[in-house]
Copies of this chain bind each other. A is one copy, B any other.
Amino acid sequence: MINIAILGGSGYTGLELLRILSNHQFSSVNAVTSRQYAGKAVTEVFPSLRGFYDNLFFSDPAEFKGLKVDVAFCCLPHGASQEVVEGLLESDNRVIDLSADFRLHDPEVYKAWYGEHSCADILDEAVYGLPELHREAIKDALLVANPGCYPTGSILALAPLLRAGLLETGSIIIDSKSGVSGAGRGANLDTSYAEVAGGFKAYKIGCHRHTPEIDQELTSVAGSEVNVTFTPHLLPVARGILTTAYAELKKTATSKDIHDVYLEFYSKEPFVRLLEQGRFPDISQVRGSNFCDIGVFSDEKKRRVTIVSAIDNLVKGASGQAVQNMNIMFWLKEDTGLRTPALSI
């Protein structure tokens, strides 16, 4: 039985961890902290969990100096996360951090996008927790930096072609569309129902913080520098990210050729579903599940590919992937607690 603590568990990633772990037979959630809700029953804040965590209460984070569990999921915002992760590691806790704090290996890059890092020296200890790329390293990791939601969808869409050396690396454009829950659980005019419903917009064009994360991983896969053009959009849905990626091929290839590259690359992956040629994913088909669905297309005349991926931003893009990482770290079957189909309607 894996003993678990969830730090900062009153947001949507916390809710999703609890939801997923309620069906995970080899783990037990011992503690969930929340400054805001300390002392309140988890089921009071999250009524959907009634009947599952009836005796679990949010605890004050201050009580958890010296916490000792098998794994701590850190769901704090970036900045706040780095304040506690070092202490958790020193107390011999393995940590899966869902914030952005340990995803970037280069302290200079972190600083440029997020500001000063309080424990930049441990940045290179962290393993970037995308199992499809770093499964082996995750097994022994003490600190897993769980990938961002946009990067998960973007990297899985493009990695096979970059690994195969087929792309003009300067040509990559990633047009990504995310549901509102990606902005977190909180009071905010911009994400209020009346402002979002029936609307759709691009935001943070040219300056979204997930860009360097995507560049880092795609550069690593490609073996040469990749700098993508990345445009996020806000979808009027609660969950889901659809990523439409465009890139130029070094030489012409058919859709079938491209499809074969993906088929090979993802042949053993439990959570990547490559669609048949000519079919493309819909975020509704992965909602609530840990799957990443991918469809591919090649325009031979233009020597340009269009790759579409769909994930649930809160599952494969956050808490589901975190549990997948935990399963890998503890040598469990990788899909333990995660093998459920989407709630497609």
A200 engages B282 (CB within 8 Å): yes
User: Any chain B CB within 8 A of the CB of A15?
Assistant: yes
In angstroms, how far is the closest chain B Cβ from the Cβ of A297? 5
Residues of B within 8 A of A235 (CB): 200, 235-236
Contact partner of A244 among B175, B192, B198, B237, CB < 8 A?
B175
Contact partner of A237 among B192, B199, B273, B286, CB < 8 A?
B199
B194 engages A177 (CB within 8 Å): no
Number of contact residues on A: which range applies?
35 or more
Give the CA-CA distance A102 to B297 in the complex, in Å: 30
Per-position binary interface string of chain A over residues 59-96, scored 1 when its CB falls under 8 Å from any chain B CB and 0 otherwise: 00000000000000000000000000000000000000
A48 engages B205 (CB within 8 Å): no
Known contacts A170-B302, A177-B177, A288-B288, then 14 further A-B pairs from the complex at CB < 8 Å, ordered by chain A residue = A23-B340, A47-B279, A175-B175, A177-B200, A180-B192, A187-B192, A197-B198, A198-B283, A199-B284, A201-B242, A201-B282, A206-B299, A235-B236, A236-B237
List residues of chain A with CB under 8 Å of any chain B CB. 12, 15, 19, 22-23, 46-52, 170, 173, 175, 177, 179-181, 185-189, 191-203, 205-206, 227, 229, 231, 233, 235-240, 242, 244, 246, 273, 275, 279-289, 291, 293, 295, 297, 299, 301-302, 304, 306, 308, 310, 314, 339-345
